[in-house]
Amino acid sequence: MFGLAPPWLLSDRGTPVADALVLSHPEQLERLRSACPRAAPTAVLAGDPCFDRILAARTRRKRFRRALGVRPGQRLVLLNSTWNSESLFGDGTEVPGDGWCGGDVVAALLDRVADEFPVDEYRFAAVLHPNIWHGHGPGQIRAWLDRARRGGMALIDPLTGWRQALLAADAVIGDHGSVTYYAAALGTPVLLGAVPLHALDPDAPVSAFMREAPRLDPDASLSAQIGELIRCHRPLPGPAEFTTSVPGESAARLRRLFYSMMGAPEPDRPATLEPLPLPGYEAGTVTVPLQVLTRVLGPGEIAVSRWTGARPGTGPDPAGELHVAVHEDTREVDRLELADVIFREGEPDDPRFGSPSIWTAEVLRRHPGCSLAAYVTGPSECLVRVRGEEPLRMVAVPDAGAEDVAGTDPAAYASALYAWLAAEGREAFAAHARAVAEELVLRTGGRLHRVRVVPLSPSGSAG
């Protein structure tokens, strides 16, 4: 049993190497007494400070989601892997009776994420064990995940950011590692992509969890599995019960232990743990070409779905009209000449681009096949220019009582306007552009977003 067997706990003379062995649950003490009885007298039940920090930060979930660029209505799916060959990120194979263990699971997952999940409805992030980074090197890890990262996936710092990402997640695809078990202890839906039961102590709580938790079916639609996982989720009681038997008490118990070992009196102030810091902002900018599927649902109402894969959705013949939207900083520079919409984001007064109005005019001159250019100036607005027309400002209209104005990426506004123009024709567009404060309604997944379209005055400000 990893961590509880004599090779880890006893010296060459057969004596315990530690003065105190901290355990989080009495269940661990029973297994310790069975596996290494000589070390049992050193055991101290002191809870789990890592899990206590997570529990204390639950109220900051919305902030952590914003820090990861998760917009209202988006689902955050976390890919998590521990470090050995039979992990989600490992190179193992299918084990009879266990199910899939590692191998090409991650590569297949990333391909399915690109093909099956619209970027305006889902955000993905990956938490990889520090030993994966150490074993392969940061450059190799980033190279393997390069396209996924350019498709909007966040690569989480394995030491400082994983707890916050775990709190922010709506679902986790993981393996037998501790992060996946922590997710289940929090009540987060978990789908197991690697299940090496043969490598686990059959009496350990993690082994029971691996037998009971839903497993990834490599031959079925991933988006359907995630939808079903979230919709039908019922937390398993085991992880929450066995992660710690004394939630919230680890700081006090550990300090008491440390001062008693030093033979010093404890301070009279309460023992506390350091709060989880707010991570830096991860915008989730998508620079791979986007396949955009649009449908005009009614006057001024457009459904927009955008994918980073080779084709949108999983059906052979998706309903609606397709166009291509490409970020100006894409690595696939040849796709810029095929783009219907070209976009970028930046500060409105960034001198490198002159101004959003100047940039949009330059883009349309440089790429004659492009019909519309969009400069995203903030989380809920952008400036767009249709070829042959004056620029327009598009800004989200906040819903009554909404906590966040930004409902979806403003680059999606540009694709909605392009689809409306393609359906209604230029004459209707010209009339639309002359009407101040006209609105479009976007639908992304099950959410509606109202966007005001405002012509600019000759000075470049909204009229």
pLDDT in tens, 383-411: 999 999 999 999 999 875 555 556 789 99
Selection from 393, 398, 323, 338 nearest residue 368 by Cα: 338
pLDDT for the residue 91: 64
Could you give the angle at the alpha carbon of 89 between the alpha carbons of 75 and 32, nearest 5°? 100
pLDDT for the residue 258: 97
Longest dimension (CA), the chain: 90
DSSP-assigned states of every residue in 149-202: HHTT-EE--TTTTHHHHHHH-SEEEE-SSHHHHHHHHHT--EEES---GGGS-T
pLDDT for the residue 417: 94
Say which residue the tokens 């359906």 belong to: 423
pTM of the model: 0.91
pLDDT for the residue 424: 75
Q: Are 348 and 356 in contact (CB under 8 A)?
A: yes
Q: Are 369 and 355 in contact (CB under 8 A)?
A: no
pLDDT for the residue 207: 93
Say which residue the tokens 């986007």 belong to: 290
Selection from 441, 364, 357 nearest residue 397 by Cα: 441
Written as six digits, the tokens of 139 are 């450059």
Cα–Cα distance measured from residue 179 to residue 82, given in angstroms and rounded to the nearest whole number: 8
**What strand order describes the sheet that includes 154-155?**
154-155, 122-128, 75-81, 171-174, 190-192
Cα–Cα distance measured from residue 80 to residue 88, given in angstroms and rounded to the nearest whole number: 7
Q: Are 440 and 453 in contact (CB under 8 A)?
A: yes
Low-confidence residues in the chain, pLDDT < 70? 1, 91-104, 311-318, 400-406, 425-437, 457-463
What letter does residue 88 receive in the DSSP assignment? T
* Coil, helix or strand at residue 234: coil
pLDDT for the residue 360: 98
pLDDT for the residue 431: 59
Selection from 318, 268, 314 nearest residue 293 by Cα: 318
Q: Are 58 and 166 in contact (CB under 8 A)?
A: no
Cα–Cα distance measured from residue 300 to residue 26, given in angstroms and rounded to the nearest whole number: 62
Cα 225 to its chain centre, rounded Å, is 17
Q: What is the separation, in whole angstroms, between the first and last Cα of the chain?
A: 70
- In sequence order, which residues have a C-beta less than 8 Å from that of residue 75 and are 6 or more positions away? 121, 122, 123, 170, 171, 226, 230
* Cross-strand partners of 303: 295, 443
pLDDT, tens only, 150-176: 999 999 999 999 999 999 999 999 999
Cα–Cα distance measured from residue 144 to residue 17, given in angstroms and rounded to the nearest whole number: 40
pLDDT, tens only, 346-365: 999 999 999 999 999 999 99
Cα–Cα distance measured from residue 453 to residue 346, given in angstroms and rounded to the nearest whole number: 20
Which backbone phi and psi does 320 adopt, to 5 degrees?
Answer: 120, -175
Cα–Cα distance measured from residue 325 to residue 323, given in angstroms and rounded to the nearest whole number: 7
pLDDT for the residue 89: 86
- State the Cα torsion 356-357-359-360 to the nearest 10°: 110
* Cross-strand partners of 304: 294
What letter does residue 349 receive in the DSSP assignment? T
